Structures are given as C-alpha cells and as structure tokens.
Amino acid sequence: MIIGVPKEIKSNENRVAITPAGVENFIKNGHEVYIEKNAGVGSGFSDEEYTAAGAKILDTPKEVFEIADMIMKVKEPLPPEYDLFKPGQVLFTYLHLAADKKMTEALLERGIVGIAYETVQLADRSLPLLTPMSEVAGRMSVQVGAHFLEKPNGGKGVLLSGVPGVLPAKVTIIGGGTVGTNAAKIAVGMGADVTIIDINPVRLRELDDIFGGKVKTLMSNSFNIKKAVTESDLVIGAVLIPGAKAPQLVTEDMIREMQPGSVVVDVAIDQGGCIETCDHPTTHAEPTYVKHGVIHYSVANMPGAVARTSTLALTNCTVPYGIKIANMGYKEAVKRDQAIALGVNLVNGKLTYKAVADSLNLPYTPLEEALK
Ligand SMILES: NC(=O)C1=CN([C@@H]2O[C@H](COP(=O)(O)OP(=O)(O)OC[C@H]3O[C@@H](n4cnc5c(N)ncnc54)[C@H](O)[C@@H]3O)[C@@H](O)[C@H]2O)C=CC1
Ligand SMILES: CC(=O)C(=O)O
C-alpha cells in the first residue's frame, strides 16, 4: 500500500503522523511512504532522516494526497484539504466528527474511508490511540492552568501549591479518565487541593485507591458540580462519551459565580466541550479569552505544543495499527480486528459510528451494511 503523510496545517500543530522509525517499519512490511516536505520539522525530524529510513519526499500536499492509498494525519482535515481526498481513500487520523458537522458532510461527500484514532476501542473499552494524547493534554492542562492563574497572565494571582500558612489552590477536574487522572497527578504533585468528579462510581473507587487519599472524589451531578466549580480556582473539563458530543456539565451560571481571574481549561473541547461558555475552540496562537471575568482556555490540539514528546507518544501507538490496516487492507483489518472496526466512522459516503450520527442528527448506517 502507498502511505501518504501531509504536513499538518492547523494553527501551531507541530506534530506529524509518522517518525523515521515508523517509516522503516512500513517499508519492512512492503509498503511505500510519501511524506510532504518539512512535515516532521516541528517535531524535530528532518527530510533527510525520513529519506534515510526509506521514505520519498514530495513538495506539496496535493502530490501526497494524489499518490496515497492511505493518508495518515494527526488532526482532522481542514477546509483546504477537503478537496484533495479521492473517493475510497483511507484516512487514518483524529477526526472528532461530532464537533463539526460541516467537516463531516464534506468528508461524506468525498466518499472516503475515515478511521478515527479516537474511537479505535479495545474489548476492555479503553481507547489505545486517544490515550497517549490524553496523557499529554491532562498533564499540560494543569501546567497551562497554573500559568494563567498568574497575575501577569490575567489570573487571580494564586500559586497552586500555596505556601506554609496559606492554603493551596482548589482544582476541580470533571472526568476521571486518562486526561483527568494525568491532570490530577500533576496537580497533586504541585500541592493543589484536588477534587475529581466522575459519573462512574467504579472509577471513583479506583481513583481513591490510585491517589491514596491525596484527592477528593465526588459523584457527577449538577448539585456537586456547581458547588465544586464555583469554589475552584482552576476547573479542568475532561469528560468523554466516545464519539459523542461532550455533555455540557458546567453552565454559564456556574461560571458567573466563579471568582474573577479563575481559570477553566476545557480539554474536552475537541468533542464540543463540557463547559457551556467554552463555545468555540481556541488556538495556541490565541489560547484564551475572558468571559464573566473567568479565563477560558479551549485549545483543541493541546499536545501540538509539545510536539516532540507528542509525536513520539502518538506514533508509538498509531503506527502498529496503520501497519495492520496496510498489510490486510482496511476491509480485512475491520473484519479481523474489532478495535479497528470501531475506529471506522465514515465509509463511502455513509456515517458508520452511531454516537457521531446521533450527535449530528445525520443518518447512521451500520458498518457491515456500508461495507457491502
Ligand atoms: N484538547 C486536546 O488537545 C485534547 C483533548 N482530549 C479530549 O479529552 C477528553 C477526555 O479524554 P479521556 O480522558 O481520554 O477520556 P476517558 O474516556 O479516559 O475519560 C472520560 C471520563 O469521563 C467520565 N464521564 C463521562 N460522562 C461524565 C459525566 N457526565 N460526568 C463526569 N464524568 C463523566 C467517564 O466516566 C470517564 O472516566 C476527550 O474529549 C478527548 O478527546 C484528549 C487529548 C487532547
Ligand atoms: C486528541 C486530539 O485531538 C489531539 O491530540 O489533538
């Protein structure tokens, strides 16, 4: 199979979908890899390193899309990329379709096969291709929260740890999965007063065990969320219902009641956001805006800022799946690997992931039917 890797074009997106090690792996499996010029530079990989590993470098995205059977990317396609796809071409990337109906309709029109990293799911319900970036974004969320709590950055002037004689900052994390757990690790490490809210009591028990009493756990309901949020210095939104638009758990009224200079970081913004006032994604170029005196951070590609770490972590997990798809062809890979089947969101003009179809109010076609 011919694999094409374009350079990412989202604002400050420095990740790339393949490393030289990944290229070598595809080539050993009998495939060809074409990479757009300078695609890896933001992650510290030169064209020469890719060439030495066996890839061929192409000057433009157009050439990459034209030649490839499968496009491997990091982020969802942006409008300048829509028309570059060929019908039947496989796209393996983060898609987050539930957050963007226009993109979904454009990709349905192109008749591609869209396999979304974020819905590839193992039998234990874990999300192996979302996890590495959730680890990064979870850890970053506290780092950026602490930064924007500083007075010169617009915040209320609070140090997460406090100091002897002064209480630490209150951090509330909504969603205790991968993002939430990684956020809690950093926040606890920095000495903050951390509360994690989740809807799953089993998960709350696990978190209580993992953190050995160093975090407070709270059941998710609007009463508890309101109390925790309005008393917090930093709120981190980290919920997920795989594929679906995120539920809006923090309302505008709750934000109004927060103290001025408090910070909210809605990591779940890539699925539409779980904080009502985080109503649009921001970019690394302009990461925040202020509403009701509260600083809002809603960057949808947080790991792009620490691209070297993120590219290595992401491709450690995505490349083995990419090779499986390339070795078997997507139809056979879907038949033999249920995790990959769950990753398929789009097939030849049909939407094959129910939670996405329901969120966007678009018709759903079961995968087996779409593959006939
Ligand atoms: N902005 C960015 O750059 C990035 C965003 N993300 C996003 O972060 C979000 C979280 O991802 P993960 O932690 O990997 O998901 P996860 O599936 O590991 O965890 C989600 C947690 O949310 C909980 N949850 C679901 N409904 C809830 C509710 N009503 N109240 C409280 N908790 C609830 C679940 O029980 C689960 O523990 C996803 O939308 C993901 O795409 C991930 C990486 C980067
Ligand atoms: C998960 C995701 O969308 C990202 O890492 O950018």
* pLDDT digits 0-9 by tens, 9-66: 999 999 999 999 999 999 999 999 999 999 999 999 999 999 999 999 999 999 999 9
Q: Is residue 347 part of a domain?
A: yes
Q: Is residue 10 part of a domain?
A: yes
Chosen domain end from 280, 300, 320: 300
Q: Is 297 helix (H, G, I), strand (E, B) or coil?
A: strand
Q: How many domains would you assign to the chain? A: 2
- Closest by CA to 349, choosing from 75, 66, 88, 80, is 88
Q: One-letter amino acid identity for 246?
A: A
Q: Do 264 and 326 lie in a common domain?
A: no
Helix (H) or strand (E) segment spanning residue 49: helix 47-53
Token pair listed for 200 = 């799953």
Q: How confident is the model at residue 73 (pLDDT cuts 50, 70, 90)?
A: very high
300 is in an annotated binding site: yes
pLDDT at position 156, please?
Answer: 98
Model confidence pLDDT, tens digit, residues 289-325: 999 999 999 999 999 999 999 999 999 999 999 999 9
Complex-level ipTM beyond the 0.85 threshold: yes
Task: Tally the C-alpha atoms within 13 A of residue 148's C-alpha that lie toward its C-beta.
Answer: 26
Which domain covers residue 194, as residue numbers? 131-300
pLDDT at position 223, please?
Answer: 98
Q: Hey, which of 133, 178, 283 would you mutate to test ligand 2's pocket, going by the most ligand atoms within 8 Å of its Cβ?
A: 133
Q: Is residue 219 part of a domain?
A: yes
198 is in an annotated binding site: yes
Q: For residue 243, give the CATH number of its domain.
A: 3.40.50.720
Task: Identify the burial level of 41 via C-beta atoms within 10 angstroms of its C-beta, where 0-12 means exposed, 13-18 middle and 19 or more buried.
Answer: middle
pLDDT at position 329, please?
Answer: 98
Q: Do 160 and 265 lie in a common domain?
A: yes
pLDDT at position 146, please?
Answer: 98
Q: Do 230 and 333 lie in a common domain?
A: no
Model confidence pLDDT, tens digit, residues 232-282: 999 999 999 999 999 999 999 999 999 999 999 999 999 999 999 999 999
Model confidence pLDDT, tens digit, residues 158-170: 999 999 999 999 9
Token pair listed for 345 = 């969101």
Model confidence pLDDT, tens digit, residues 137-190: 999 999 999 999 999 999 999 999 999 999 999 999 999 999 999 999 999 999
Pocket lining: 3 vs ligand 1, CB cutoff 6 Å: no
Is the distance from CB of 238 to CB of 177 less than 8 angstroms? yes
Residue nearest to atom 6 of ligand 2 (CA): 301
Atom of ligand 2 nearest to the CA of 96: 3
240 is in an annotated binding site: yes
Average pLDDT for residues 217-237, to the nearest whole number? 98
Q: Where are the strands (E) in the chain, listed by range?
A: 2-5, 32-36, 56-58, 70-72, 90-93, 113-116, 170-174, 193-198, 216-219, 234-237, 263-266, 288-291, 294-297, 344-347, 350-351
Q: Do 168 and 228 lie in a common domain?
A: yes
Q: Is residue 17 part of a domain?
A: yes
Q: From CA 352, how far away is CA 342, in angstroms rounded?
A: 9
pLDDT at position 180, please?
Answer: 98
Q: Do 286 and 183 lie in a common domain?
A: yes
Chosen domain end from 300, 329, 348: 300
319 is in an annotated binding site: no
Q: Do 135 and 202 lie in a common domain?
A: yes
Chosen domain end from 300, 315, 349: 300
Q: Do 164 and 293 lie in a common domain?
A: yes
Q: Do 171 and 26 lie in a common domain?
A: no
Q: Find the ligand nearest to 238 CA.
A: 1
Q: How confident is the model at residue 130 (pLDDT cuts 50, 70, 90)?
A: very high
Q: Do 161 and 222 lie in a common domain?
A: yes
Q: How confident is the model at residue 206 (pLDDT cuts 50, 70, 90)?
A: very high
Compute, in angstroms, the gap from residue 303 CA to the centroid of ligand 1: 15
Compute, in angstroms, the gap from residue 15 CA to the centroid of ligand 2: 10
Write down the residue that tokens 């064209």 correspond to: 47
pLDDT at position 104, please?
Answer: 98
Q: Is residue 119 part of a domain?
A: no
Q: Do 177 and 286 lie in a common domain?
A: yes
Q: Is residue 23 part of a domain?
A: yes
Compute, in angstroms, the gap from residue 159 CA to the centroid of ligand 2: 28
Q: Do 317 and 271 lie in a common domain?
A: no
Compute, in angstroms, the gap from residue 270 CA to the centroid of ligand 1: 10
DSSP string spanning 155-213?
S----TT-BTTBPPPEEEEE--SHHHHHHHHHHHHTT-EEEEEES-HHHHHHHHHHHTT
Q: From CA 250, how far away is CA 53, in angstroms rounded?
A: 48
Q: Is residue 124 part of a domain?
A: no
Q: Do 208 and 343 lie in a common domain?
A: no
Q: Hey, which of 94, 100, 239, 284 would you mutate to test ligand 2's pocket, going by the most ligand atoms within 8 Å of its Cβ?
A: 94
The catalytic site residues sit at: 96, 270
- Closest by CA to 42, choosing from 65, 3, 75, is 75
